[in-house]
Amino acid sequence: MITVSVCMIVKNEEKILKRCLDCLKDTADEIVIVDTGSTDATKEIAKQYTDRVFDFEWSDDFAKARNFAFGLCTMDYIYSADADEILDERNIAAFKRLKEALLPEIDIVQMVYKNQLEYNTTYNFDSELRPKLYKRCRNFVWEGSVHETVRLTPVIYDSDIEIIHKPQGLHSKRDFGLFQRTIEKEGRLDARLCRMYARELAVSGTDEDFEEAASYFLKAVEEEKDENDLKEDLFVIMRAFRVSGNKDGFNKYALRAVAAGACSETAFELGEFFRENGDEEEAAIWYHNAAYETEPVLNSKYSEEYPFRYLKKE
């Protein structure tokens, strides 16, 4: 049977940490908790479950904190947990069975992440497989009877264990600040983070958040190669210019969006622009376009919910 280190980074999680650890305490062979600066009772609660509680000076970098925490683990596999996750009794039992049956050649186990739509996360689907259990020391294996090579692709097992995600609130404000500070330090975001920034804006950004993001996306749109990524960038710019009252800027990038092939988000923005400027008839055309003639690239609500604030269901 494999052994498992439950590994967490936490900050000010006193309201939910016990709920999470109660689900994991009988499955874990070791619990490692790294605190990044709590000012509440988080560390005291953690010490009720483990003596392996460590401090990490926060540096606006979740990857550094995760790497530090992983480096403290000593068991065969590391289960990366967040404080707002829970396992019910059925899935606790499934996790224990997995420990007994997991083959040693498995490098990563994916589990089903649930309840994403209920809590208005940045995803357009309610459940997805996510890597959650990682082999701590990976063994490299040679493959091929001739022209042999080391297998570099990890062996991944998709389990049916379901993790219920129950956050207390969105972390968008924190994330927007991290995006901006990363841009200030490094000058840019990598492609994945740029997409996450646009997605979080589409889900929970305020007008002010869009205006703060505009300067970065104005640079990104000039370098964009991927068609869908271009549509995302243009949506952010259009929204920022609309809410700031910059009609010339809005019209310029709206034309680019139409030329690129409008998505639900940019079509909806055109509807908002014409409605705010008193042209209800033109606005209705673009709301219809958002709902029926285009597809969303960031947030499905731009085709399923938002346009129907002004349209009757057909």
The answer for 126, left when phi > 0, alpha when psi is -120 to 50, beta otherwise, is: alpha
Residue 226 pLDDT > 90: no
Same domain, 186 and 98: no
Question: How many structural domains does the chain have?
Answer: 2
Q: Indicate whether 131 and 250 sit together in one domain.
A: no
Task: Please tell me which residue, 214 or 185, carries the higher pLDDT value.
Answer: 214
Q: Would you state the torsion angle of the CA atoms of residues 116, 120, 125, 126, taken in this order, to the nearest 10 degrees?
A: 30
pLDDT in the model for residue 186: 87
Rounded distance between C-alpha atoms, residue 277 and residue 280, angstroms? 8
Domain interval for residue 95: 4-165
Quick one: pLDDT at residue 141? 76
The burial class, CB within 10 Å (0-12 / 13-18 / 19+), for 190 is exposed
- The residue among 132, 165, 198 that closes a domain is 165
What confidence tier does 274 reach under pLDDT thresholds 50, 70, 90? very high
- 252's enclosing H/E stretch is helix 247-260
Mean pLDDT, the chain, integer:
91
Specify whether 34 is located in the same domain as 102.
yes
On whether residue 51 sits in a domain, the answer given is yes
Grade residue 125 by pLDDT with cuts at 50, 70 and 90. Answer: low
pLDDT at residue 173 is higher than 90: no
Task: Measure the CA–CA gap between 87 and 53, rounded to whole angstroms.
Answer: 22
Percent of the chain exceeding pLDDT 70 equals 93
Domain membership flag for residue 314: no
Per-residue model confidence (pLDDT) at position 145:
63
Comparing 132-146, 154-168, 257-271, the range with the smallest average pLDDT is: 132-146
- Buried b or exposed e, range 266-292, using 16+ CB within 10 angstroms: bbbbbbbbbbeeeeeeebbebbbbbbe
Across the range 121-147, mean pLDDT stands at 77
How distant, in Å, are the alpha carbons of 3, 121, 140, 173, 192 from that of 165?
24, 10, 34, 19, 22
| pTM for this entry | 0.73
